[in-house]
Amino acid sequence: MESEVYYAMGGGGLAWLAQMVWQRVFTSEGKASEQLVVQLGERIAAQEARLTTLEAGLDEERGKRRLAEDKVHVLELYVVGLQGELRRHGIDVPGPSPMSPGRVEP
């Protein structure tokens, strides 16, 4: 009796496996589904490559921005030093004009 149950289970599993193979390999729906999976995989890979390229570009831009900010900071310190030297010699140094790009509102 037990062996008959195992044979029935094995036969059911074999039928299920055969049906899956038939649907995947021999039917047009299975082939179309497989093609869709391949196309979507290619699109995902292309999107990942674009994302990697964009991230690399952003990292490069951030580096350039930090370098420019460092240069501006050095120039600001230089200007402050020059203004102090001018004041020490009695030369009046006007504040930034309303249109100057470096003006900070109080």
Residue-by-residue pLDDT tens, the chain, 106 positions: 556 555 555 667 777 777 777 666 666 777 788 889 999 999 999 999 999 999 999 999 999 999 999 999 999 999 999 999 999 999 988 877 766 565 555 4
Q: How far apart (Å, rounded) are the C-alpha atoms in residues 4 and 41?
A: 44
- pLDDT at position 31: 77
The answer to pTM > 0.75 is: no
8 Å CB contact between 87 and 93:
yes
- pLDDT at position 106: 45
Dihedrals φ, ψ of 100, to 5°? Answer: -75, 140
